Amino acid sequence: MSAPVPHLAVDDLVAGYVPDVPILRGMTLSVATGEIVTVLGPNGAGKSTLVKAVAGLVPARSGEIRVKGGSIRGLATHRLVAAGVAYVPQTENVFTRLSVEENLELGGLSAPAEVRARMAEMYALFPDLARLRRLAAGRLSGGQRQMVAVARALMARPHLIMLDEPSAGLSPKLTEMVFQKLEEVRRTGVTLLVVEQNARAALAISDRGYVLAEGRQRFTGTARELLSSPEVGELYLGTRTRLAS
Amino acid sequence: MMQVIADGLVAASFITLGVVGLSMIYNILNFPTFAQGDHIAVGAYFALGVVALAGTAGSVAGLSFGWPLILGLFCAAVLTAVVALALDRAIFAQLRRRDASRISLIMASFGVALMLRYMIVMAAGHDPHYYAFAITPALNLGGVRIQPNELISIAVTVAMVVGLHLFLTRTWLGRSMRAVSENPTLARVNGIDVGRVVRWTWIIGAGMAAVAGVLLGVVVQIHPFMGFELLLPMFAALIVGGMTNIYGAVLGAVLIGLAEALTIRYLAPEYRQAVSFIAVFVVLMVRPQGILGEKP
Amino acid sequence: MDVLSYLVFFLVVAGIYAVATLGLNLQWGFTGIMNVGVVGFFGVGAYTAAYVTGPNYPDAFGGFGLHPLVGYLAAMVVSGAVAFVVGLPTIRLKHDFLAIGTFGIAICIQLVAMNWKSATRGFDGLHSLPKPFAAAAGSPFAANLAYLVMVVAIILLVTLALERMVRSPWGRMLRAVREDETASAALGKDAFRVRLQTFVMGSGLMGLSGALYANFTGFVSPQDLLPIFTFQVFVMLVVGGSGNNWGAILGAVVIWGLWTATETVLSALLPPGLQQQVAAVRIVMVGLILVAMLLLRPQGLLPERRNVSPEARLKP
């Protein structure tokens, strides 16, 4: 038998907002089913552009994007949900004027019949949200909002979920809580691709990681390898210190 | 005083039907369209065409109009929506695709407004028209004199606003619209087809404007500038109501309608449009986010 | 001689439009602020000039009979002052508010001109305004020619002044404000100040345009204050090239040329008695030109000259 088809395969992808000014300059990456893979890199490395290009929000100029072997390059963003891929943006990732419950309902737009059952599952996974469900999402704290954003994305029963900096703006304690939840999400059978600045927290739950610099892959390896690599430490801390021993 | 309130509510009904669409277009397409006033006039003239084909506006239940005009109302809503969709496809969608600035969109809508207005002049001239010349006696409701046609206008407006509210809160398409108006990118990520939402926004906005035009034609008269003259009161209602949702717009429309009725009664009828502008000004100075608007 | 005198007349009117278009270019072309009430500031200028220079009307607010040059200055000052009052609350907000605010002020000004009869004589308008050069030049043709020379001189003066201004550090700030509404919010007070400055100055030019018009025709009335004027100036700027002063002037001449030519052609083609239709066809046609330009050549006939390299502009 040949090697299993990767869940998500990005091949030599070039992408950017404006033609001729690529932000991503030939990125290759693969995520196996059931994995948590983290994409790291300094500011401006093209991490967010990578997931936005997969989500169809930034045009891919060349290269290929495959989900379970089928190409999704050029797919309109609103068709992504039907392909089983969910995306949680870094900022403005909840509808602030709508209630928590309405946010979740919108997440389940593609399968209206399942909304009730699915929402119950989400409230089981995120018990805090059940209590807050009538509240406008704009009035929640940063950590609660992140929960709503993840729950909303999960409503459509995606098999792959991409998160752009889920720890942005959160305290260390909340960051830990968010990543704990992401691990729980993986146990429900979902594959995760996480873009993060917070390398330690993200790698702690990840199987593997990629480090981007200037739109290309700089390093790749298992989470353990990256955490103990002096080069990765240097890229992050400016000294040849390892992120973890 | 009760009479002024009644008059104000009648004026508010036309403003409401127009501004609700203006508000939806503003929130979903992200620019204030100066053509919304002329959608009102276009609708009134489509219905006039149907009535002219039928030869009569008919009469039911002692009103000055009947089935031909009711049919005309439906045709007007549909045809005006088609006109708005065609204009979007030919002009506004092209500008969006080119990432044109909001100023370009506003300017294009100003051009479209003038073109619509003067196409009406080309087709029907400047002179006012009426659906029917029948004069119905005013009703006397506890000392308030009100025409049956005016009561119908208020009733239709209330019904349409309630219907729109149910549509926006209970249907998937309505919820999609609210989602797009708040955060188009997140809406797309959620699987919402923004193009479809934009099309329905024009259909609802222009369709309701057409209904406003027919009602205004029934109560007052039909002329090429009837919609343009409602544009400033509609903008005023939009700003007073805070721009971000239709409920603020409806409240704004009621306030502007009452202000107009007070002006006509106690100040000077010819400055009725100016009153709404001054209201806008006061609101902008005191509360830039409007009455029901959110803090920027 | 007939053709020549018509040409002079045509160029004077085109020049008057050009002054207003230069004003809009300063606001929209250089600073990116929207003005949907060009005609309002034009009207304030026209009526101000009429009061300052006109004879003492028995049935209206009195004329002071001053020299037209005083009228021009007064028109600029008063239009600028109105712009200041309108701009102060609206200009710090998003474009939409200024668009709606200026649209509203133009309608209010027209309403006042129509209805405040004891001051404006309503639709009868203010007449018998002094025409400079009329007495000295001898013939109407010579007077119009002299007026044309003056208008051209004013346009050159205004254009050269504007060119100097937009190439100064202050002018670079205008572009910074225009290019990015959010980035300019970071400029804070400075962005607000330059926006208000250009709004007031541009509106002052529209007022000057109104004054030039009043003293050229010798008559102003609410008929001169229709929204079509605003629309014409829009089209002139878009066609000429927003962000380019010479483009604004070119656009005014081209569009005013088309406007007058179509009237001649349509009046000849259509049977008499269809005057309303002629006016309507013209507006629809110019509307199509506006939309076509916005879609096909948004940079206009004479595009803006950029000081920055195109590559630098592409970076998000």
Of the pLDDT bands very low, low, confident and very high (cuts 50, 70, 90), residue C279 is confident
Residues A136-140 have a mean pLDDT of 92
State whether B183 and A95 contact (CB < 8 Å): yes
Smallest CA–CA distance from C311 into chain A, residue: A21
pLDDT in tens, B127-148: 999 988 777 778 888 888 888 8
Asked if B89 has any chain C CB less than 8 Å from its own CB, the reply is no
Of the pLDDT bands very low, low, confident and very high (cuts 50, 70, 90), residue B233 is very high
Contacts of B185 in chain A (CB under 8 A): 57, 89, 92
Please tell me the distance from the alpha carbon of residue B186 to that of residue B191, in angstroms, as a whole number: 9
pLDDT in tens, B169-195: 888 899 899 999 999 999 999 999 999
Return the partners of chain C (3 or more C-beta pairs < 8 Å): A, B
Smallest CA–CA distance from C315 into chain A, residue: A21
Rounded to 5 degrees, φ, ψ at B33 are: -85, 125
- Best probe of the A interface among B23, B189, B247, by most A CBs < 10 A, is B189
A200: Cα separation from own chain's centroid: 16
- pLDDT value of residue C309: 38
pLDDT in tens, C153-182: 999 999 999 999 988 888 888 888 887 655
Contacts of C276 in chain B (CB under 8 A): 121, 125-126
pLDDT of A121 above 70? yes
Residues A115-123 have a mean pLDDT of 92
The residues pairing with A37 across neighbouring beta strands, listed in sequence order, are A193, A208
Asked if B65 has any chain C CB less than 8 Å from its own CB, the reply is no
CB atoms inside a 10 Å sphere around CB B232: 25
Asked if B165 has any chain A CB less than 8 Å from its own CB, the reply is no
- Best probe of the B interface among C295, C296, C299, C314, by most B CBs < 10 A, is C295
Contacts of A97 in chain B (CB under 8 A): 178, 182, 244-245, 294
Q: Which long-range contacts (CB under 8 A, 24 or more apart) does B271-274 make?
A: B271/C111, B271/C115, B273/B229, B273/B232, B273/B233, B273/C107, B273/C108, B273/C111, B274/C107, B274/C108, B274/C111, B274/C112
How close C314 comes to chain A (CA, Å)? 7
- Best probe of the A interface among B186, B197, B289, by most A CBs < 10 A, is B186
- pLDDT value of residue B201: 97
Rounded to 5 degrees, φ, ψ at A216 are: -135, 165
Token pair listed for C127: 């007449």
Q: Do the domain assignments include residue C274?
A: no
Instruction: Produce one character per residue of A78-113: b if its CB has 16 or more CB atoms within 10 Å, e if not.
Output: bebbebbbbbbbbeebbbebbbbbbbbbbbbbbeee
Please tell me the distance from the alpha carbon of residue C126 to that of residue C53, in angstroms, as a whole number: 11
How close B183 comes to chain A (CA, Å)? 7
Contacts of C101 in chain B (CB under 8 A): 280-281, 284
Residues C80-106 have a mean pLDDT of 87
B179: Cα separation from own chain's centroid: 22
State whether C99 and B106 contact (CB < 8 Å): yes
Smallest CA–CA distance from B236 into chain C, residue: C100
- pLDDT value of residue C45: 96
Write the CA distances from B170 to A187, B167, C4, integer angstroms: 34, 6, 70
Mean pLDDT of chain A: 88
Residues B1-17 have a mean pLDDT of 92
Q: Do the domain assignments include residue C239?
A: no
Smallest CA–CA distance from B111 into chain C, residue: C287
State whether A57 and B179 contact (CB < 8 Å): no
- pLDDT value of residue A132: 93
Contacts of A112 in chain B (CB under 8 A): 172
pLDDT of A213 above 60? yes
Weakest-pLDDT range from A52-56, A91-95, C137-141, C162-166: C137-141
Please tell me the distance from the alpha carbon of residue C32 to that of residue C26, in angstroms, as a whole number: 9
- pLDDT value of residue A3: 67
Q: Where are chain B's structural domains?
A: 2-225
Contacts of A158 in chain B (CB under 8 A): none
pLDDT of B296 above 50? no
Residues C11-30 have a mean pLDDT of 96
Q: Residue C181 in contact with residue C195, Cβ under 8 Å?
A: no
- pLDDT value of residue A244: 62
Of the pLDDT bands very low, low, confident and very high (cuts 50, 70, 90), residue C314 is very low
Residue A103, SS3 per DSSP: helix
Q: Residue A223 in contact with residue A209, Cβ under 8 Å?
A: yes
CATH topology of domain A1-84+158-245: Rossmann fold (3.40.50)
pLDDT of C185 above 60? no
pLDDT of C104 above 80? yes
- No. of H helices and E strands in chain C? 14, 0
- Domains contained in chain C, number: 1
Asked if C277 has any chain B CB less than 8 Å from its own CB, the reply is yes
State whether A98 and B182 contact (CB < 8 Å): yes
Of the pLDDT bands very low, low, confident and very high (cuts 50, 70, 90), residue C316 is very low
Of C111, C288, C294, the CB nearest to B100: C294
Please tell me the distance from the alpha carbon of residue A97 to that of residue B199, in angstroms, as a whole number: 23
Of the pLDDT bands very low, low, confident and very high (cuts 50, 70, 90), residue A170 is confident
Whole-number percent of chain B with pLDDT over 70: 95
Residue-number span of the structural domain to which C133 is assigned:
2-224
State whether A109 and B186 contact (CB < 8 Å): no
Q: Residue A51 in contact with residue A125, Cβ under 8 Å?
A: no
Smallest CA–CA distance from B95 into chain C, residue: C295
Q: Residue C72 in contact with residue C61, Cβ under 8 Å?
A: no
Which amino acid appears at position C16 of this protein?
I
The residues pairing with B141 across neighbouring beta strands, listed in sequence order, are B144
The residues pairing with A60 across neighbouring beta strands, listed in sequence order, are A15
Please tell me the distance from the alpha carbon of residue A194 to that of residue C1, in angstroms, as a whole number: 80
pLDDT in tens, B93-126: 999 988 888 888 998 999 999 999 999 999 998 8
Range among A138-147, A182-191, B205-214, C49-58 with highest mean pLDDT value: B205-214
pLDDT in tens, A6-28: 899 999 999 988 877 888 898 99
State whether B111 and C111 contact (CB < 8 Å): no
Any idea of the CA torsion for A37, A41, A45, A49, to the nearest 10 degrees?
30
- pLDDT value of residue A2: 59
pLDDT of B251 above 80? yes
